[in-house]
Structure 1
Amino acid sequence: MFLLLAVVMSGAVSRMLPVSVPTPLVQILLGAVIGLSTSYRVELDPELFLLLFLPPLLFLDGWRIPKDELLKDLSTVVELALGLVLLTVIGMGFFIHWMIPAMPLAVAFALAAVVSPTDPIAVSAIAARVPIPKRMMHILEGESLLNDASGLVCLRFAIAAALTGTFSAASAATSFLWVAGIGLAVGIVVTLVVTRIKAWVSRRFGEEPGSQILVSLLIPFGSYLLAEHIHASGILAAVSAGVTMTFAEISRQALATTRMRRNSVWDTIQFALNGIIFVLLGEQLPAILAGAKSTVLLTGHHGPEWLGLYVLAIVAGLALLRFGWVWVSLRLTLLRRRLNSEATLHSPDWRLVAAMSLAGVRGAITLAGVLTIPLTMNDGSPFPARDLAIFLAAGVIIVSLVLASIALPILLNGLTMPAEPSKQAEEDAARVAAAEAAISAIERSQHDLAERDGNADFYAAAGTRVMDLYRERIESRSGSAKASAEARLQDRLERTFRLAGIKAERAAVVEQVRERAIGSATAQKLIRELDLLEARYRI
């Protein structure tokens, strides 16, 4: 209850502060307050933590990420999400082991694996007052979606090496192909089978929104558990299930009511789970800091300030690796485009490279991953340097958030990405096609009703009023560029006026309820209709 209350308060507190503070940092602070002010403690079971938090979050990321934008920059995304992750795990793993000899190499690789994934939600919170260019955000979202999976798969191999004491590159490569390939396949198959069955039941017996929403909630957990049962990657299964869900939903449409309610449910779940992860980090911090003295002794030093130096060194190493990789990736992208075209392409602004580098903020997935490190070895002895790894990962999250919250707004201010082709023509064509289909459907409905009831004039007049709206849309979207621009201006003005009218209607209904001129049931019905209209015009 305290954790959820802290999540609820975090959004309001971050908006109240006079300076822009990312919501995750506020959540960590509130969690620390809970940890210091109550005797209750959350005992985390690593496997249960992994199952409860990661599948729904990764599934939703895969479901909602814009697929066209992801494919447009797929080469850049793959270079960041796979190449950079492998470089980070290997480079930072050896660096951490060299810096902290008391941490076994396998544990150092595990720590490097958990700090490799980035968190676009934290970046969005940081840049709320300085909007990130859309293309840059799409790249960050795609990178996060894939590097979550690749980083956590690397974590799995590192933990296995720590538990068994052996590691074979050839065996790991073969195992990776099985773990990744079968994990992806499980997510796709589970989603397709479940959505097909769901669509068949809905067509035959009708659709119940509550059941449909519950099914969507169960798909990521089912995919994850099935993949783990056959020793594949449950993380990749959840990701592929989310990506597949987009295409499955397009071909098997749910009711409008179901989609609206489902979106609201998933928004709440995403907000709650992400928030709880950061609050949990804050709640665990007092205990972690209390054990800092004993933890730092593992490194061969005595002062706790060494832990802070280790965190800063890891953050600096991550930033340098990411800056170098982003710079090389962008140069290779420009080189490929020069070879494919004769157009002269200018080198990217250094601020773009710096912003992309600092945007690699660590967040929920890093914390979730490090908390899944086992408590004990196979023989029952404590897992080596587990508390140290958790402390360093938590420090990396906090420092990267603070650093990005200070530097990103400065770098993003006035930064522009390369011009993107306008999608207005595509949108206009889709609206015209939809309007023509609507007119045809209304005409068929007119004829059917007239043949059945015989009152053709009445139906013709009613249908004409509706079709006139669609014909007006077709004319405005099919004309010249100037006419289309004027039509869009009229749309914006109409939206403004309708929202003003809806606000006045709602106030009038509320006033009638206060005066007891209407009952609560009638008021709820009217307000729901007004809420749906307002949601439509605020899209």
Structure 2
Amino acid sequence: MESVEVVLAMLLAVVASGYLVRMLPFPLPLPLAQIALGALIAGVFEHGMTLQPEIFFLLFLPPLLFLDGWRIPKVGLFRDKNTILELALGLVVFTVVGAGYLIHWLIPSLPIAVAFALAAILAPTDPVAVSAITQRVPAPRRMMHILEGEALLNDATGLVCFRFAVAAALTGHFSLADASLTFVWVALAGVASGIVITVAAAAGQRWLTGRLGEEAGTPILVNLLIPFGAYLVAERLHASGILAAVAAGITMSYVELSGRAHATTRVRRAVVWDTAQFALNGMMFVLLGEQLPDIARGALQATSPDSHLDLWWLAGVALAIAFGLALLRFIWVWVSMRLTILNRRLQGKQVYVPNIRLVIATSLAGVRGAITMAGIMTLPLTLPDGAPFPGRHLAIFLASAVIIVSLVLASVGLPRLLRGLELPEDHSVESEEERARHDAAVAAIAAVEKASHARMATADEAELVNSATEHVLGLYQHRLGGSAAHMDPAKVRYADQTEREFRLTALKAERDTILKLARRGEISDDTARKLLRQIDLVEARYR
């Protein structure tokens, strides 16, 4: 019963954190507020809440990664794919190697495999934490798209590296050839699992709905279960459940373009997912703060008596690791940008030389968060022979401390670096949104006129139909730039019903046009999702 009370207190802390950051006179990142409230809960209940690593991983990671893959703008992802891959793949490997040797050098008593496992789980960044920090000082849109794409892909890369490092710590040996073959299977089977599960779930739901109908909440519940199903199937195949969840999310964004889901379902589903994302991310940071006291005690007790490690020394090590990660990121970003500029000059293309502030901001934006916390908690409790896993408490403490330090550094530095930072403006989003609105309005007008001609019956009805048609067409003609008389109640109801049908017809035409443009790749899925949500809200009102 007490565990249930702790969970409820943690959920209440997530709710309170949202109000707390708005009450304070100074900007405080939401994750830091949640960590502080979690520590307060630990003090009230006098102990931390522990979860089995496998359960912890299953509960938090699949839905968060699924949603990241679903909502990331695909046009921006493919446009900046080279930059994103350099950060998500090259930087991760560079960070694992550099930070792994740095951690082992700082703490020689920590086995090298555990040091590399810690470095691997520190490599992924958290876009949610960065977004929370940059709410009051908005970051350039393209920079945020790159950071989001990096975070989406480096989650999988870092966690796969983490998995191999933990396996080396458990078995005592590491084979590059075996690891390479395993990586190919883990990656391909994981991605395939996510795609197959998502497509199969969507097809099965459509088949059942067409023959048996459905309850209002069924499609939303199915959607919530997809990431867990993809994750579990991939793990059963000894593949990457993380990649499966990401692939399921990306596949879901394309399934969404089929337009088969009802408007009310999409609206409700978006609200449910927003709530789940806020709750899960908040719970992660509250849980981190709630476990900090026990993590610190475990780290101090786990050190050898002759090492003379105390809490301040460990805090200094955490600071050194955090600054080391920032330095490695700065080096990689600076070298990557210089090589990109050189390559564009050799090709005779226009070159934008970034301000050094942008390089530093990109380095500080490598905030560690929910993924790092979830991953480090999955360190095994024991070795195969039953002995305690070496350095587990110490690794968890250092990862937790680095999360906090990176959040503080970003919250202090990013607003100052981003304020007044000028980048070349990208008007592509505005122009494609304007075009989509124009094309949708033209299609809606044509659909309403066609429906109006088909609806004409008696002369009396024709007058009402014309009135409703003119009202609906006026809304769309106003978008293109281009008082009812007293009637008896029956005629008013007929006019309202006719107007409602025409409005729904027009909205359907708008939606079909936007989906068609998105399927052709003429507008981004991010723009399509924004416009579809507006249409869905209007349609939900009429339905």
TM-score scaled by length of structure 2:
0.85
1:124 aligns with 2:124: no
Q: 2:75 aligns with which of 56, 62, 68?
A: 68
Separation in structure 2 between the aligned mates of residue 294 and residue 346 of structure 1, nearest angstrom: 53
1:362 aligns with 2:342: no
> Are residues 1:333 and 2:346 paired?
no
**Residues 159 and 292 of structure 1: is their aligned pair in 2 closer, same or farther, counting only changes over 3 Å?**
closer
Work out the CA distance in 2 between the residues paired with 1:453 and 1:276. Answer: 63
Greater shift in the superposed pair: 330-339 or 10-19:
330-339
Q: How far 1:11 moved relative to its partner?
A: 1.1
Alignment-mate amino acid for residue 398 of structure 1: I
- Counterpart CA distance in 1 for 2:18 and 2:284 is 15
| 1:48-447 pair list within 5 angstroms | 48-297=55-304, 300-343=307-350, 345-447=351-453
Q: Say whether residues 1:41 and 2:32 are aligned partners.
A: no
CA deviations over 1:331-371 (Å, ceiling 9, x no partner): 1222232233343x242100000000000010111010000
Q: Conserved in 2, the CA contact under 8 Å of 1:188 and 1:241?
A: yes
Q: Does 1:463 align with 2:450?
A: no
Residue by residue over 1:250-298, the C-alpha shift from the partner in whole angstroms, topping out at 9 and shown as x without a partner, is 0143111101111110011000000011011111111122234323437
Which secondary structure does the structure 2 equivalent of 1:423 belong to? helix
In structure 2, how many angstroms separate the alpha carbons of the residues matched to 1:235 and 1:110?
A: 16
Instruction: Report the alpha carbon displacement of residue 32 of structure 1 after superposing the two structures with TM.
Output: 0.6
SS in 1 for 2:192: helix
Report how far residue 165 of structure 1 moved: 1.0
Q: Tell me how far 1:452 sits from its aligned partner.
A: 9.5
Q: Give the secondary structure class of the aligned counterpart of 2:217.
A: helix
**Matched AA of 1:212:** P
Question: Aligned equivalents of 1:275 and 1:144: distance in 2?
Answer: 18
Where does residue 494 of structure 2 map in the other structure? none
1:509 maps to none
Could you say if the C-alpha distance between residues 298 and 49 of structure 1 is closer, same or farther in structure 2, counting changes exceeding 3 Å?
farther
Q: CA deviation at 1:316?
A: 1.5
Are 2:122 and 2:399, in contact at CA under 8 Å, matched by a contact in 1? yes
Compared with structure 1, are the counterparts of its residues 299 and 410 closer, same or farther at alpha carbon in structure 2 (3 Å cutoff)?
Answer: farther
Percent sequence identity over matched residues? 59
Matching residue's letter, 1:356: T
Distance 1:298 1:233 in 2: 39
Q: Is the 8 A contact 2:263 2:540 kept in 1?
A: no
Report the 3-state secondary structure (helix = DSSP H, G, I; strand = E; otherwise coil) of the residue aligned with 1:420: coil
Deviation at 1:325, TM superposition (A): 0.4
The change in CA–CA distance for 1:199 and 1:5 in structure 2 (over 3 A counts) is: same
Distance in 2 separating the partners of 1:227 and 1:401: 32
Deviations 1:47-75 (A, max 9, x none): 00000000000000010111111111111
2:263–2:537 CA contact under 8 A, matched in 1: no
Does structure 2 conserve the Cα–Cα contact (< 8 Å) formed by 1:118 and 1:361? Answer: yes
Does structure 2 conserve the Cα–Cα contact (< 8 Å) formed by 1:10 and 1:27? yes
Is the 8 Å Cα contact of residues 442 and 467 (structure 1) preserved in structure 2?
yes
Cα pair 1:277 1:367 within 8 Å, conserved: yes
Residue type at the aligned position of 1:369: G
Q: Partners in 1 of 2:304 and 2:263 — Cα distance?
A: 59
Q: Find the residue that maps to 1:279 and give its secondary structure.
A: helix
Aligned-partner Cα distance in 1 for 2:452–2:29: 55
Contact 1:49 1:372 in 2 (8 A): yes
2:403 is aligned with what amino acid?
Answer: I
Q: Is the 8 A contact 2:264 2:540 kept in 1?
A: no
Q: Secondary structure at the match of 2:174?
A: coil
Distance change in 2, residues 1:162/1:342 (3 Å): closer
Tell me, yes or no, if the aligned pair for 2:197 and 2:226 is still in contact at 8 Å. yes
Q: CA deviation at 1:231?
A: 0.4
Mapped to 1, the partners of 2:431 and 2:401 lie a distance apart of 48
Q: Is the Cα–Cα contact under 8 Å of residues 129 and 407 in structure 2 kept in the other structure?
A: yes
CA distance in 1, matches of 2:213, 2:474: 33
Cα distance between partner residues in 1 of 2:439 and 2:226: 34
CA distance, structure 2, for counterparts of residue 535 and residue 215 of structure 1: 21
Q: Which residue of 2 aligns with 1:513?
A: none
| Cα pair distance change 1:199/1:110, threshold 3 Å | same
Amino acid at match of 1:357: S
How far did residue 533 of structure 1 move? 6.8
Alignment-derived partner of residue 525 in structure 2: none
Q: 1:424 to 1:132 in 2, by over 3 A?
A: closer
Task: Rate the CA distance shift 1:342–1:226 in 2: closer, same or farther, 3 A.
Answer: closer
Whether contact under 8 Å (2:298, 2:394) holds in the other structure is: no
Whether the aligned pair in 2 keeps the contact of 1:103 and 1:299 (CA below 8 Å) is: no
Residue type at the aligned position of 1:253: R
What's the CA shift for 1:449? 2.5
Tell me if 1:473 matches 2:475: no
Larger mean Cα displacement after TM superposition, 38-47 or 278-287 = 38-47
| CA RMSD, 1 decimal | 2.1
Q: 1:462 to 1:370 in 2, by over 3 A?
A: same
Whole-angstrom CA distance in 1 between matches of 2:539 and 2:304: 60
Greater alpha carbon shift after TM alignment, 421-430 vs 239-248: 421-430
Deviation of residue 535 (structure 1)? 11
**CA distance in structure 2 between the partners assigned to 1:147 and 1:13 by the alignment:** 31
Q: Is the 8 Å Cα contact of residues 296 and 307 (structure 1) preserved in structure 2?
A: no
Structure 1 unaligned residues grouped into runs of 5+: 477-530
Alignment TM-score, normalising by the size of structure 1: 0.85
Pick which of 462-471 and 41-50 moved more. 462-471
State the 1:5 CA deviation. 0.8
Deviations 1:208-244 (A, max 9, x none): 3300100110000000000000000000000010011
Q: Which residue of 2 aligns with 1:22?
A: 29
Deviation at 1:97, TM superposition (A): 1.4
Counterpart AA for 1:433: D
Residue 40 of structure 1 deviates from its aligned partner by 5.0
Q: State the Cα distance separating 1:321 from its structure 2 match.
A: 0.6
Which AA in structure 2 matches 1:464? E
Match of 2:487 in 1: none
Work out the number of aligned pairs and report it.
481
The CA deviation at 1:453 is: 10
1:451/1:289 CA distance change after superposition, 3 Å = same
